[in-house]
Structure 1
Amino acid sequence: MELRHVRYFDAIAETLNFTRAAERLHVTQSTLSHQIRQMEDELGVELFDRSAKKIRMTESGEILRTYLTPALEQIDRGIQALRGEVEVLTGSIRLGTTPSFNTRMVPHCVSSFLNHYPGIQVTVEELSAAAIVSQLKSGHLDLAVSYRPEGTDLWFEPLYNEELRLVVATSHPLAKRRRVRMVELHHVRMVLLHPQFQTRQLLDDCFEAAGAEPLVVVQLNSVASMIELIRQTELAGIIGETAVSPSDDLRVVPLEDPTPIRTPGMLWQKGATRSPMIKHFADIIRRAASQGG
């Protein structure tokens, strides 16, 4: 097994897409596929499951990457050292995120990352989608977890599809419902995100399509604050399903007609040089997303 095999394997494991990996490595897709098959034949195991529409890593692939990724990072640091480009292990990573992902997913990812890089400072900024785009373009952020922006040249990697769901306290009249139609939220007292957020804009479109006008009593810019307010009052809210932790005093109810759905993803500048640390952080985010956020 040669170093190029390791780099090819790492690129596919990071993107889970042969086409994107080939573009990143500046090789043809057929060359990349051949090299990975060669690597699998040498090891006697399949590293990727290609049977589904989207490729996935096999258990063998996951095990191998646990050892190869740190080794590849060490090799890259050695090459950087020879070139006088040693990456300081007391550096920093700047991550932008919208409120929905800053209650559970992002803190989990930061925790996992610090297990590998305890000396790195991680700065997380909770921003609107528009602010995230601006901060990425200016170079203030290295990476972001948000939704697909419109009309920008940023790179967007979809992670998963997420339903927005009704969240109420157990004492709320809608708490025992299996599903709730959007029109039934007409004149229901609610707490929602501020209109600056794309999620709120999506919900406003859904309410208009359903012919419903909820009574928006409170507008917040924090999902964590929304959840706590819902817990303590009779207000209902609509929050991404992965942002709400299981709780005995809250109920999460699916919505329909229409069902609000968003596709979160990672964002960064096209062509930007990403350090091994940022690549590792991105991989942690992918793993969290594959496990349901």
Structure 2
Amino acid sequence: MELRHLRYFVALAERLNFTAAAAQVHVTQPTLSHQIKQLENELDMALFERTERRVSLTAAGMLFLPRVIEALKTLDSGTALLKASATLSGHLRIATSQTFNLAIVPRTVLLFRQQHENVRVTIEELTLADMTRALRADEIDLAIAYQPTDAHDMVFEPLCDEELVLFLPADHALARRKRVRMIELHGRDMVMLSTRYKTRQIIDDALISAGTIPNVIIESGTIPSLLNLVRQTGAPTILSRYALTPDSPLKTVPLESPRPTRTTGLIYSNDRARSPLETAFGALLRKVAVSYIAT
């Protein structure tokens, strides 16, 4: 069965006249008749009743017609979307977590701009609460963060699971360990993200479940500041493993009992249709994120 068979079928079903239907799809009447016969042979049932004076749909044809119309509409809208995505233009507004904005988002934006040079991109680092507020207010188009727990008007599409690990100086007593149990952080000096961040809440939940209370000496709201504090104070911190840059002198050690993780994904407002810009960027971001996970 080929696409033209379906288009010819719909034309004849709408016109119920071979001459008029053939003119509509720009073929000769014998060609149309032959193509319809091919379709019926493939389905092994008649779709039309033919007499000398009239053409009408059979019961099978009546059942088949609405499904074919629906399929052709879906295909045509998809084709139009692909054509539109090849010449995208406009303004794409993105909010992202700090970790993803270190490498994955900038890499994605660079590749995206190479493919769509007429698109202007704005990137903001926001807390999860501010992201959902901005999506509701139509101040951003999409967000890259962790799944909201109390935002039922949002659509969350998972990208990857991020492991949260211990960041510490190379000469720290725990730096050569293959793994560190959460309970071993009890009473230790640590620097941490501010409590207004969802990541800090995930870390605190893991610490509480292990019965661990570290001595948090400094809190900061930015990853670069935290990493600098680790270097300056010698106190460890806990962040996504993606926060480690290739030139960093710091070491990372996985945590266990429990092993803290978070699921990062794309967040969209459920109140409006997704634009071709958002769809194209989301697909590219997924590809870039997978490549980082593999390394």
* Fold-level similarity (TM above 0.5): yes
> What is the match of residue 273 of structure 1?
273
For residue 101 of structure 1, report the CA deviation from its aligned partner.
1.4
Please list the CA deviations of residues 192-221 of structure 1 after superposition, one character each: whole Å capped at 9, or x if unmatched: 111011110111111111121112122112
CA 272–190 in structure 1, closer or farther in 2 if over 3 Å, else same:
same
> What is the match of residue 49 of structure 1?
none
Please list the CA deviations of residues 167-189 of structure 1 after superposition, one character each: whole Å capped at 9, or x if unmatched: 11112221111110111111222
> What is the match of residue 106 of structure 2?
107
> What is the match of residue 127 of structure 1?
126
- How does 1:37-186 map onto structure 2 within 5 Å? 75-76=83-84, 89=89, 91-152=90-151, 153-186=153-186
For residue 224 of structure 1, report the CA deviation from its aligned partner.
2.5
Output the CA distance in 2 between the equivalents of 1:221 and 1:198: 12
For residue 248 of structure 1, report the CA deviation from its aligned partner.
5.8
Output the CA distance in 2 between the equivalents of 1:74 and 1:264: 27
SS of equivalent residue, structure 1 residue 176: coil
> What is the match of residue 251 of structure 2?
251
For residue 271 of structure 1, report the CA deviation from its aligned partner.
4.9
Output the CA distance in 2 between the equivalents of 1:245 and 1:288: 16
For residue 151 of structure 1, report the CA deviation from its aligned partner.
2.4
> What is the match of residue 235 of structure 1?
235
For residue 122 of structure 1, report the CA deviation from its aligned partner.
1.3
For residue 137 of structure 1, report the CA deviation from its aligned partner.
1.1
Q: Higher mean Cα deviation, 223-232 or 108-117? A: 223-232
Output the CA distance in 2 between the equivalents of 1:179 and 1:135: 39
CA 133–292 in structure 1, closer or farther in 2 if over 3 Å, else same:
same
* Amino acid aligned to 2:239: I
Output the CA distance in 1 between the equivalents of 2:128 and 2:97: 7
Output the CA distance in 1 between the equivalents of 2:265 and 2:3: 32
SS of equivalent residue, structure 2 residue 157: strand
* Amino acid aligned to 2:234: E
For residue 2 of structure 1, report the CA deviation from its aligned partner.
6.2
Please list the CA deviations of residues 247-267 of structure 1 after superposition, one character each: whole Å capped at 9, or x if unmatched: 461111000011101111100
Could you tell me which runs of 5 or more consecutive residues in structure 1 were left unpaired when the two chains were aligned: 4-26, 37-68, 79-86
The percent identity for this pair of structures is 34
Please list the CA deviations of residues 104-163 of structure 1 after superposition, one character each: whole Å capped at 9, or x if unmatched: 211111111111123322111111111111111111110011111112220000111111
TM-score, normalized by length of structure 2?
A: 0.68
Is this contact kept in 1: 2:88–2:277, CA < 8 A? no
> What is the match of residue 194 of structure 2?
194
For residue 73 of structure 1, report the CA deviation from its aligned partner.
5.4
* Amino acid aligned to 1:227: L
Could you tell me which runs of 5 or more consecutive residues in structure 2 were left unpaired when the two chains were aligned: 5-65
SS of equivalent residue, structure 2 residue 183: helix
> What is the match of residue 15 of structure 1?
none
Count, aligned residues: 224
Output the CA distance in 1 between the equivalents of 2:147 and 2:245: 25
Is this contact kept in 1: 2:85–2:280, CA < 8 A? no
> What is the match of residue 217 of structure 1?
217
Output the CA distance in 1 between the equivalents of 2:179 and 2:253: 6
Aligned-pair Cα RMSD in Å: 2.9
Output the CA distance in 1 between the equivalents of 2:228 and 2:3: 53
The reply to whether residue 286 of structure 1 matches residue 289 of structure 2 is no
Is this contact kept in 2: 1:165–1:241, CA < 8 A? yes
CA 137–178 in structure 1, closer or farther in 2 if over 3 Å, else same:
same
Output the CA distance in 2 between the equivalents of 1:77 and 1:116: 10
Is this contact kept in 1: 2:104–2:292, CA < 8 A? no
